[in-house]
Amino acid sequence: MSLPSFAIGIAGGTGAGKTTVARTVAETVGEAVTRIPLDNYYRDRSQLTFEEREEINYDHPSAFEWELLREQLDALLTGQSIEMPQYDFELHNRTDERVTVEPSDIIVLEGILALHDEAIREMLDLRVYVMTDADVRILRRIERDVIERGRALEGVIDQYLETVKPMHERFVAPTKKQADVIIPEGANRMALDLLIEKIQSELSDDSQRPGDTGRERSVVDQSMD
Ligand SMILES: Nc1ncnc2c1ncn2[C@@H]1O[C@H](COP(=O)(O)OP(=O)(O)O)[C@@H](O)[C@H]1O
Ligand SMILES: Nc1ccn([C@@H]2O[C@H](COP(=O)(O)O)[C@@H](O)[C@H]2O)c(=O)n1
């Protein structure tokens, strides 16, 4: 593999289609792709009871362990493997499991706040925002949370109105301005084809990568300036 890797951030509201875009890129781009779901960096909450964990605002930036994400993204971009934490949505907590993730030419960070943190944004070569209407997103979320995440319909609706929607407006939607590319309606084929073409052209021209000089020092060092 060539260093540094080409890093892509995919942000957008819950249910916008971020995972679908990330998977499609991984399947189509024709190179090894390392995917980093931001959800895995929700803070460890083992010190709290299940009832206390249910009350947490999971859409506020403080819910994530940014320091660990910065360190691990930096490691991957400089060719080192990481021990990535794993998250259980039914327990609202990290599991004890860690998964060894190897670096590759393309690293894709995907999550609601993938473009929120300035240090992380600076590590990305391409910033993508997936934009899908709120009504479509909440319908997708209800289906997913009830079927896959073991949630009751009433709880999903309450959480959406109390935290998901206001935090989306306050923290997620504004990161659209940080994006190089906005994909309307999720896995829009034309937009995806252009995105994949862009990634392939960047990969075939290593010398043009903006990160080549920017990553001479690790992001961990930079944050201490
Ligand atoms: N462009 C699309 N058209 C139709 N369904 C889609 C599209 N993009 C995503 N979906 C579906 O919407 C749901 C949520 O998509 P997902 O990629 O998991 O969203 P996110 O990662 O942003 O929460 C999934 O069931 C997925 O299959
Ligand atoms: N214990 C948790 C942790 C997170 N969430 C919700 O997940 C959403 C982010 O995941 P997407 O795949 O939808 O992008 C986020 O909006 C959190 O509200 C949760 O419900 N429970």
* H/E element, 157: helix 153-159
Cβ atoms within 10 Å of 78's Cβ, excluding its own:
14
Q: Domains in the chain, please, with CATH?
A: 6-210 (3.40.50.300)
The pTM score is 0.91
Per-residue confidence (pLDDT) for residue 198, from 0 to 100: 87
Predicted local confidence at residue 206, as pLDDT: 60
126-131, strands of its sheet edge to edge: 33-37, 106-110, 6-12, 126-131, 181-184
* Cα–Cα distance for residue pair 192/17, rounded to 1 Å: 12
Cβ of 142 closer than 6 Å to ligand 2, yes or no, is no
64 lines ligand 2 (CB under 6 A): no
For a mutational test of ligand 2's pocket, the pick from 49, 112, 136, i.e. the residue with the most ligand atoms closer than 8 A to its C-beta, is: 112
Chunk the chain into consecutive blocks of 10 residues (it has 225) and report each block's average pLDDT, rounded to whole numbers: 86 96 88 91 98 97 98 96 97 97 94 98 96 96 94 96 98 97 84 89 65 37 29
Cβ of 42 less than 6 Å from ligand 2: yes
| Closest CA to ligand 2's atom 10 | 14
Residue corresponding to tokens 């320091």: 67
Going by DSSP bridges, is the β-strand pair 82-88/93-101 parallel, antiparallel, or unpaired?
antiparallel
Residue 13 beta carbon below 6 angstroms from any ligand 1 atom: no
Residue 14 CB less than 6 A away from ligand 2 = yes
- What pLDDT does 187 receive? 67
Cis peptide before 4 (omega within 30 of 0): yes
ipTM > 0.95? Answer: yes
* Ligand 1 atom 10: residue of nearest CA: 17
CB burial of residue 49 (10 Å; 0-12, 13-18, 19+): exposed
- Residue 15 is labelled as binding a ligand: yes
- Amino acid 110: pLDDT: 98
